[in-house]
Amino acid sequence: MHQHLFFDKPICTIDFETTGLSHANGDRAIEIGMVRLEPDGTLIKWSSLINPKTKIPRLSQSIHGIDDQMVFNAPEFTDLYPQINSLLHDAHLIAHNAEFDVGFLAHECLISQLPVPKYDLVFDTLMFARHVFGLPRCNLITVSERFGIPVNNAHRALHDAYHTHLIFVNMVKALKESIQVQNTTELKELCRQSMNTKEVSAKQALTIQDSINEQYCLEVYYVSGDPSRPLIQRRVVQPIHSDGYRVLVYCHLRQAERSLRLNRILQMHGPCEAS
């Protein structure tokens, strides 16, 4: 099995470039990029322009650089479906803002009167960046840069699909090494819990207040927003005060007071010994 992942099934990252932002308003897919990683480490990259049978608005052209002439002789979605279906078959689907890409996939299948390919679980790197890692800006370029991935040709389907793939692999690796997320079920549960912000905040508030009252240390795994620092850091801290957004702590690693953003704390455990 690939050393960075723990999936018993392939993962397949997908990205669409489109004529606009809403298939409900008649927008169509004009390019697809897909990256499939097998459990043995085999990597498959594939992309194609798509003839949408409609004009591409100039505003959209200015974003991805795809014009009407480029797609004039491109295959239609129906022609590409067998390859799309093959790459997604029995795989976990990965996307950055998955609602967008899954929505366009389903819409194009509906127009072509074809069944939506049968993939397994969906993992959204946008949701992970926002809710699990608590990053301040979560567009694909910013998240790529935070994970040390150079951005060269953004807003083309294969480029964005591959970058999303790399982001996801690095996210999984970081979570596995820091807080010992061991399998697909635990990964989905971590994301579910992180998105339930009221529940998370309530648990954090109780743990922090108890630590303050009883004067004991907490072990925290904290996501740094600074690209020059490791993504996830283990710290042993003594909470001093919390306003519900940040917590002021004494950090034993740095031997100084620090302010930590609560939404960047992946986990906290206590009591623990100062170290």
Would you say 176 and 6 are in contact if contact means Cβ atoms under 8 Å apart?
A: yes
Indicate if the alpha-carbon torsion angle 64, 69, 75, 76 is positive or negative.
positive
Would you say 225 and 241 are in contact if contact means Cβ atoms under 8 Å apart?
A: no
Q: Which residue reads 């800006």 in tokens?
A: 137
Closest listed residue to residue 117, CA positions, set 126, 125, 108: 108
**DSSP string covering 12-25, please?**
EEEEEEESSS-GGG
159 given a catalytic annotation: yes
Q: Which of 4, 159, 163, 241 is catalytic?
A: 159
Closest listed residue to residue 252, CA positions, set 238, 268, 267: 238
Output the CA angle 194-128-89, nearest 5 degrees: 120
Would you say 179 and 219 are in contact if contact means Cβ atoms under 8 Å apart?
A: no
Output the CA angle 237-127-262, nearest 5 degrees: 20
Annotated catalytic sites, by residue?
A: 159
